Amino acid sequence: MSRPLRCTILVFSSWYANLSTTNAPMTDQSSPATPKRKLIIAIDGPAGAGKSTIAMRLARKLGYVNLESGAMYRALALKAIDKDVSFDDEAALLKLAQESRIQLEPSTGGNRTLLNGHDVSMRIRERDVTEGASRVSIHPRVREWMVERQREMGIGGGVVMEGRDIGTKVFPDADLKVFLDADPVVREQRRMEQQKIKAEVAANVAADLRERDKRDRTRVTSPLVAAWDAIVIDSTSLSEDQVLERVEDLAAKLLTE
């Protein structure tokens, strides 16, 4: 394992250890405490379905770590842009990933994404990086490398991981799998509101979203599909709070079993 990878994992290990220590209830030392079950929760879905917001809020409610897998692909796309590496060159992209240090730092406002020590949280949300992330993610060897890193980050439980293949590829044995979907028109509207898109570029954003959907659903490696045992939630006519309440209820039932 390379030094950069160890650094990435340590960010989460240290943060989660502090969280566990801070929130641990006091117990009678004469009797051993019963370890609290820590779930692995997978939330998948297409762009604009609301999975990032739900994952962040759910993790905060449960005291879990929120792992946004898409940020890792975005960081790699940004690195490719900076190094002028083609999004179609799988070998070069894999080498770039192996040489990069991508860290996700949990915070009260959501994850900060660091690329080789630099905060790129805002930059990776811009349109050119968003487009690039979808293109670099179609390469099988890049996805395999990313999946291994994501598994290492979340293997201990106590995580809410969101993406497009978490329940089918990264954690096929996750305790709870949710596939969050919505009508394409509604998803386009949400994305434009989220990114404060002006009317004159709205058509381009909608076209980009439809193209991304097509790539995600038709790629050979880990296409976007709901896991066979996932709970599918159509959020078209639901508010953010209503979706969160449904997912919270599902998690609560597992924690009381």
- 43 domain-assigned: yes
- Give the model's pLDDT for residue 240: 92
**Residue 78 structural domain:** 3-12+39-243
Structural domain contains residue 250: no
Give the total number of structural domains in the chain.
Answer: 1
CA 76 – CA 81 distance, rounded (Å):
9
Q: Does any domain span residue 229? A: yes
CATH code, domain carrying 215: 3.40.50.300
Main-chain dihedrals φ then ψ at residue 118, nearest 5 degrees: -105, 135
Report pLDDT for 191.
Answer: 74
Which of 12, 254, 1 has its CA nearest to residue 114? Answer: 12
**pTM of the predicted model as reported, rounded to 2 decimal places:** 0.75
Tell whether 20 is covered by a domain: no
Flag whether 251 is in a domain.
no
> Reduced to 3 states, what is the DSSP secondary structure of residue 79?
helix
- Whether 237 is in a domain gets the answer yes
222: left (phi over 0), alpha (psi -120 to 50) or beta: left
Please list the pLDDT of the chain residue by residue as tens digits (257 residues): 444 433 343 344 334 334 333 444 444 454 455 567 789 999 999 988 889 889 999 998 998 888 888 899 999 999 999 999 999 999 999 999 999 999 888 766 667 899 999 999 999 989 899 889 989 998 999 999 999 988 988 888 999 999 988 999 999 999 999 999 998 888 878 777 766 666 556 667 677 778 878 888 888 777 889 999 999 999 999 999 999 999 999 999 999 87
- Cβ contact 59:66 at 8 Å: yes
Residue 134 to residue 112: CA distance in whole angstroms: 20
The pLDDT assigned to 180 comes to 95
User: With b meaning 16 or more CB within 10 Å and e meaning fewer, what string describes 67-78?
Assistant: bbbbbbbbbbbb
Question: Residue 3 has what pLDDT?
Answer: 42
Is there a domain that residue 106 lies in?
yes
In a domain, 249, yes or no: no
Residue 118: Cβ within 10 Å count: 12
